[in-house]
Amino acid sequence: MRAGTIPVRLIANCIAHVPRGSAIGEYYGGALAITAETEALWEISYLIAKTNAKKPSSVKPRKMPIGVKEQQARERKATAAASRYLAKQEWAQ
């Protein structure tokens, strides 16, 4: 691709057809991060739990996982906040 031997449109088309649960899906998170079978099992377990619960409204469906991209962004944000906090503590002393 860098040398221009593979067209960008071909690469985009290949990425669009990557199966769910792949490494690319895990990077971006959401429904792409899990396979269709896993999502079906989660839905079935949710319906069973909701049927057997005393208060069905209290049973919530399982959330889709966040991606590696989002996890890294949260980690950078937490690290920056910790650095600011430590700098503030050092300044106060």
pLDDT means per 10 residues, the chain with 93 residues, are 75 81 88 92 95 91 92 96 90 74
Give the pLDDT score at 45: 95
Contact 35, 21 (CB under 8 A): yes
The pLDDT score that the predictor gives to residue 43 is 95
Q: How many CA atoms lie within 13 A of 28 on its CB side?
A: 11
The pLDDT value recorded for residue 3 is 66
Buried b or exposed e, range 37-73, using 16+ CB within 10 angstroms? eebeeeeeeeeeeeeeeeeeeeeeeeeebebeeeeee
What are the helix (H) ranges across 3-67? Answer: 8-16, 23-28, 36-52
The reply to whether the predicted model has a pTM over 0.75 is no
**pLDDT for the residue 2:** 62
pLDDT at 8: 82
